[in-house]
Structure 1
Amino acid sequence: MLYLLLSILASTSLVFIFKMFQRYNVHTFQAIVVNYVTCVVVGFLFSGGSAALQPEVFGRSWVIYAFVLGTIFIGTFYLIALTTHKVGVTAASVATKISLVIPVLFSLLVLQNSLKDYTFINYIGMFAALVAIILSSVRPKTDSSEQHASPLLMFLLPFIIFLNSGIADSLINYTNANLLQQHEAPQFTMLTFSASAMVGLLVLLYLLISGKTTFYRKSILAGILLGIPNYFSIYFLIKALYAFGNDGAFLYPVNNIGIILAGALGAVIFFKEKLTKINLAGLGMAVLALILISYQEIIANLF
C-alpha cells in the first residue's frame, strides 16, 4: 500500500509542478528536456549502474519501439503541460489516466491476450471514460485559464493526450508481449528515457541555433525538480505491482483513480482551480468509468 500511495503522490506532483512553471514563468519545453536528462541520470545512479546501456542493446528488435515511445513521451509531456496551463490540472489528470481504455481495447482486439472476459458493463465504462474527458474539460467563460484557449482547443488538448497516452501504453504492451525479455526491462526503460532526452536536445539545439529561443538557467533547476518525481512515479508503480502480485488489472485503475482525485483536490486547494458542476460530474464519471472497466478485479480483491 505504501508504494501505491507513493506512486500516486509522485504522479500527481508532475501536473502540480507544471502549474508552478506557469506561475514562475519557466520555459516549459526547456524544463521538460532537462527533466528527461535527469530521469536518465537518476535511473543510472539509483540502479547502481545496472541499467547502463550496453552496445549490444542496439541490436535488439525492440530498439525502434523504445525510440518511438521516447518521442511520444516527450510530446505528450509537453501537451500535458500545455493542458495544465490552458485548461486545468483536473482535465490533464483525467485525460492521462482515463487513457487506459485504449490499451485495454488493444489487448482485446489486436493482442487477443485478455486475462478476463469483458462484459457489457466493462464496455459501458469505456464509453463513460470518453464522456469524462469532455465534461472535465469544459470551463466557464469567466475562468482565467480560458484567456488563451478556444473551446475547441480546450477539448482537443485533453483528447490528444488521451490518444497519445493510450497509444504509448499499447506500444509498451505489444513490446512486452512479443519482443522484450524480462531481464531487458531496465535497458528498455533507460533507452526510452534516453530517446526522449535526445529528441528534446535536438529540437532545443535547433531552436537555439536558429535564434528562436534563448536558454534560461532556471530551466535546469525546474527540469531537475520535474525529473526526480517523474522517474520515481515509474519506479514506485513497478514496486506497487510487485506488492500486489502483478495484478495490473486491479492496480492500474485504483492508481489512476487516486491520481485523478488527488489532482482535483490539489488543484482546488493549492491553485484555486474552480470546478463547475459539469467538471465535478466529469470527475465522478472518470472514477465510475475506471470502476466499471475493472469491477471484476476490484470485487475479487475486496471480497
Structure 2
Amino acid sequence: MYTLIISIACSVAVSVLLKLARRHNLQIDQAIAVNYVVAASLCLLIFRPSPASLLSPTTPWWILATLGVLLPTIFLAMAGAVRHAGIVLSDAAQRLSLFIPLIAAFVLFGEAVSTGKLAGISLALIALACLLFRQNAQTSSGETGKTISLLLAVWVGYGTIDILFKQLAKSGAAFSSSLFVAFGLAGILIFLYLLARRTVWKRRNLVAGLVLGMLNFGNIYFYIRAHQVFPQNPTLVFSAMNIGVISLGTLVGAGLFKEKLSWINVLGIVLAVAAIVALIPK
C-alpha cells in the first residue's frame, strides 16, 4: 500500500511546490524545463527504455509530437491554476480530467454507455461546474475569467494527454520508450522557448526543477508500481489514487494554506469523489 501513498504524496507535493513558487520568487518555467531533464533521466535509468523501437513505421509520431507540446503547456497551466485557484480546486480539476477519455470513448469511438459510467460522467460535469463557481465580490471579472480558463485548461489538457497515451498504447508502442521520448520532446520545446526569451537562469530555479522532476517522476513510477503490486485489483489503485489526491489536496490546501472555498466549491469536491466512486464496478 505504501506505493499508492507515495504516489499520492508526490502528486500533491508537486502542487505544493507550484504553490510556493511565487512566495520564493521562483521562475516556474525554468523549473518545469529542468523537471523534464530529470524525469527523462530517471525514466532512462529506471525503466531502461529502447527509443529505437519507436522507429517502426507504425509508430504514431504525431501523437508523440503532440504530447511534446501539451506536456509543458498544460504543466504551465497547472502552475497558473494553483497560483490563482489554489491547490484544492486545481488538484480536483486535474483528477476530474479522467472523465475526458470516457466521454471521448462514447462520442468518438462508439463505446457502449453503462449506467455506472453515465452516472460518473454526470456527477463529474456537475462537480466541475461547482469547482469553477466563483462568488468572491472582491475578485475582478478579469481575474475570475482567468481562473476559470486555467482550471478548464487543466481539466481538458490532462484529459487529452490521457487519451493520447491510451492511443499510443493501442498502437503497440512501448510505454517506457514513449514516456522517455515525450519527456525529451517536452524538454526540448520548453528549453527552446526559454532560449527565445533569453532567459537568465538562476540557481534556485534549477534546484526547484530538480525537486519537481523527482516528484513528477515519483508520482508516475509509484503509480505503476502500485498496479504491479495489485495486478488483480486495478480498480483499487485507480480509485484510491484519484480520491486520495483530491482528499490530501483538500487537507493541504484548505488546512495548511488556508485556501478559501465556497460551499459550492466544497460540494464540487464531494461530487468529484462521488463521480470516481460511481466508476467502481459493482
**Structure 2 length as normaliser, TM-score?**
0.91
**Residue 185 (structure 1) aligned with residue 175 (structure 2):** yes
Q: In angstroms, what is the RMSD of aligned CA positions? A: 2.2
CA contact (8 A) 2:103 2:121 kept: no
- In structure 2, relative to structure 1, the CA distance for the partners of 1:195 and 1:229 (3 Å cut) is same
**Other-structure match for 1:220:** 206
Which residue of the other structure, out of 220, 234, 238, is the alignment partner of 1:234? Answer: 220
Which residue of the other structure, out of 181, 186, 196, is the alignment partner of 1:206? Answer: 196
Percentage of matched positions with identical amino acids: 25
Q: Following TM superposition, by how much is the alpha carbon of 1:274 offset from its aligned partner in structure 2, in angstroms?
A: 2.0
Matches within 5 A, 1:124-273: 124-141=119-136, 146=139, 150-177=143-170, 179-181=171-173, 184-208=174-198, 213-245=199-231, 247-273=233-259
Which residue of the other structure, out of 114, 123, 141, is the alignment partner of 1:119? Answer: 114
- Unaligned runs of 5+ residues in structure 2 are none
- In structure 2, relative to structure 1, the CA distance for the partners of 1:43 and 1:152 (3 Å cut) is same
**Other-structure match for 1:90:** 88
Q: Following the alignment from structure 1 to structure 2, what is the Cα–Cα distance between the partners of residues 158 and 224? A: 26
Paired AA for residue 295 in structure 1: I
- In structure 2, relative to structure 1, the CA distance for the partners of 1:109 and 1:278 (3 Å cut) is closer
Paired AA for residue 100 in structure 1: L
Matches within 5 A, 1:8-27: 8-27=8-27
The 3-state SS of whatever aligns with 1:274 is coil
- Unaligned runs of 5+ residues in structure 1 are none
1:193-219 deviation digits (Å, cap 9, x = unpaired): 1111011111111111xxxx4332211
Runs of 4 or more above 4 Å deviation: 146-149, 246-250
**Other-structure match for 1:99:** 97
**Other-structure match for 2:68:** 70
CA contact (8 A) 2:19 2:79 kept: yes
Q: Following the alignment from structure 2 to structure 1, what is the Cα–Cα distance between the partners of residues 23 and 89? A: 18
The 3-state SS of whatever aligns with 1:251 is helix
Paired AA for residue 217 in structure 2: Y
**Structure 1 length as normaliser, TM-score?**
0.85
Q: Following the alignment from structure 2 to structure 1, what is the Cα–Cα distance between the partners of residues 68 and 16? A: 22
Q: Following TM superposition, by how much is the alpha carbon of 1:149 offset from its aligned partner in structure 2, in angstroms?
A: 5.5
Q: Is the deviation greater in 89-98 or in 152-161?
A: 152-161
**Residue 295 (structure 1) aligned with residue 276 (structure 2):** no
Q: Following the alignment from structure 2 to structure 1, what is the Cα–Cα distance between the partners of residues 141 and 73? A: 20
The 3-state SS of whatever aligns with 2:98 is helix
Paired AA for residue 66 in structure 2: V
Q: Following TM superposition, by how much is the alpha carbon of 1:133 offset from its aligned partner in structure 2, in angstroms?
A: 2.0
Q: Following the alignment from structure 1 to structure 2, what is the Cα–Cα distance between the partners of residues 216 and 130? A: 41
